[in-house]
Structure 1
């Protein structure tokens, strides 16, 4: 088992068992020699109820969730084209798909003994809406490892209720103009020179290298932190062993004190008896 498998298993566990499952999986990773994975797993946060039910939905209804993300792609295309008619057509579907997912999530949670409050239901709805609006949020929801519900404020030309806002229906002339702009942009992309492509690819490589350097630095920092934690743990174990030895020595010393005290008491008693016998012998001698 690696970290990714352990994380998937952790967030698939019942919410009430999250902490116990995390500890068990972290212990298993450490036993398998993956100290770094164990440390990363321990850092994962317990999901809220809304996040937990969103994760449950991602695992039990992946196809339905994919439909939501695909609908988000259509919304973004219509918004980019300023296609008000298309946005009005998509908006009811947005509500229908999210409503269906919330109902499915409520049923799935009920099967596991978890009743969803109105507040949790609203947070789930906001999370699904964020997944539709934002591709990164959609990927996070689809992964099924949320620890907190998500919320998106605004969708460009779509208001909070999901209706188109500040969008004017396209006239035929404006629609043709938009189509011509898309064709021109596509033609320009096709006609880019090899030099421009090479420059772009070089910039992408440099960005990848920068990101790799940042990841490597973060990895080193994490490894240093793990090493420091292991050293601290070793120090604690050493001090604990020293304390145990000191306690054992103290107990042995106390036992010696008790034994010597008892022997001293016996010796004092014997001395008193000898002194008494000596006095009586002296008295008998004097009477002779």
Structure 2
């Protein structure tokens, strides 16, 4: 067992099974004398429900992972080059692929026996959009060790949404196009503001979930420590009783040995005294 194989096993397990399985892996590493590996495994954090579904997707659909990463590279390049035609085409592909992959994540979770709701599926979609927008986010997601959902940059999301909206509108006269441009800019600003508000709210949710998760993990660890302490106390009591019995047995044997030594000494002294008395006569 190494860190990669342990992480792959742990992060495809449902979050409710994570801590127990992690503890088993840590104990296995310790039993093998691999303290460093045990510490690395112990440092792995339990994923949220949406992160777990995203990890299932990564481990089950490697080709789709590569496809989404390539699409993200194309989108970011089109944004940088202001290639509007290409950006519209890639944005449509993004919408289709994200919807398909989030649905696949939902199906995988259901097949694993733990269906996810709309809120968790929405977070999976947010993670996929974050992977499209940011190469670091893409790397985190593609590792298959995601701990919590990722959030795409507000500017990227707003710009893509405004672009999709403008591409869906019919052509207008030039004098109206200028007014439409201002409307798009206003819509982008409004979308950015709403996205920032959502990001803040989502961050609060993630912080609360992380705090609760840490408390739950700590409670589990304390429970395990308590069980270990109770078992250790039981063993120590048994050892103490055995030690007391051995002490009693050895004390009795020591008394008998002392008595035998005193008897032998007394016997040894009596003949010597008689021999001396006879010589005196």
TM-score (norm 1): 0.56
Do the aligned partners of residues 162 and 65 (structure 1) sit closer, same or farther apart at CA in structure 2, a change above 3 Å counting? farther
Which portions of structure 1, spanning 4 or more consecutive aligned residues, are displaced by more than 6 angstroms? none
Q: CA RMSD in A?
A: 3.1
| Mapped contact 2:133–2:153 kept (Cα < 8 A) | no
Q: Aligned-pair distance for 1:9?
A: 1.6
| Mapped contact 2:50–2:123 kept (Cα < 8 A) | yes
| Mapped contact 2:12–2:55 kept (Cα < 8 A) | yes
**Alpha-carbon separation, structure 1, partners of 2:148 and 2:85:** 35
Which residue of structure 1 aligns with residue 71 of structure 2? 71
SS in 1 for 2:149: coil
Q: Aligned-pair distance for 1:155?
A: 4.3
Which residue of structure 2 aligns with residue 144 of structure 1? 144
**Alpha-carbon separation, structure 2, partners of 1:71 and 1:163:** 19
- Give the structure with the higher percent helix: 2
**Alpha-carbon separation, structure 1, partners of 2:92 and 2:81:** 19
**Structure 1 unmatched ranges of 5 or more:** 168-235, 256-288
| Mapped contact 2:57–2:105 kept (Cα < 8 A) | yes
Which residue of structure 1 aligns with residue 161 of structure 2? 162
**Alpha-carbon separation, structure 1, partners of 2:35 and 2:150:** 31
Do the aligned partners of residues 162 and 33 (structure 1) sit closer, same or farther apart at CA in structure 2, a change above 3 Å counting? farther
**Alpha-carbon separation, structure 1, partners of 2:74 and 2:163:** 14
**Alpha-carbon separation, structure 1, partners of 2:57 and 2:238:** 55
SS in 1 for 2:99: helix
Deviations 1:126-173 (A, max 9, x none): 0111011111111111111111111122245x51653439x9xxxxxx
Which residue of structure 1 aligns with residue 15 of structure 2? 15
Which residue of structure 1 aligns with residue 92 of structure 2? 92
Do the aligned partners of residues 122 and 93 (structure 1) sit closer, same or farther apart at CA in structure 2, a change above 3 Å counting? same
Q: Aligned-pair distance for 1:18?
A: 1.1
Q: Aligned-pair distance for 1:84?
A: 1.6
Q: How many residues align?
A: 181
| Mapped contact 2:14–2:49 kept (Cα < 8 A) | no
Do the aligned partners of residues 155 and 34 (structure 1) sit closer, same or farther apart at CA in structure 2, a change above 3 Å counting? farther
| Mapped contact 1:3–1:29 kept (Cα < 8 A) | no
**Structure 2 unmatched ranges of 5 or more:** 167-228, 249-281
**Alpha-carbon separation, structure 2, partners of 1:115 and 1:12:** 14
**Alpha-carbon separation, structure 2, partners of 1:246 and 1:140:** 50
**Alpha-carbon separation, structure 2, partners of 1:240 and 1:21:** 25
| Mapped contact 2:127–2:151 kept (Cα < 8 A) | yes
Q: Aligned-pair distance for 1:240?
A: 7.0
| Mapped contact 2:45–2:147 kept (Cα < 8 A) | yes
> Equivalences for 1:222-237 in 2 at 5 Å?
none
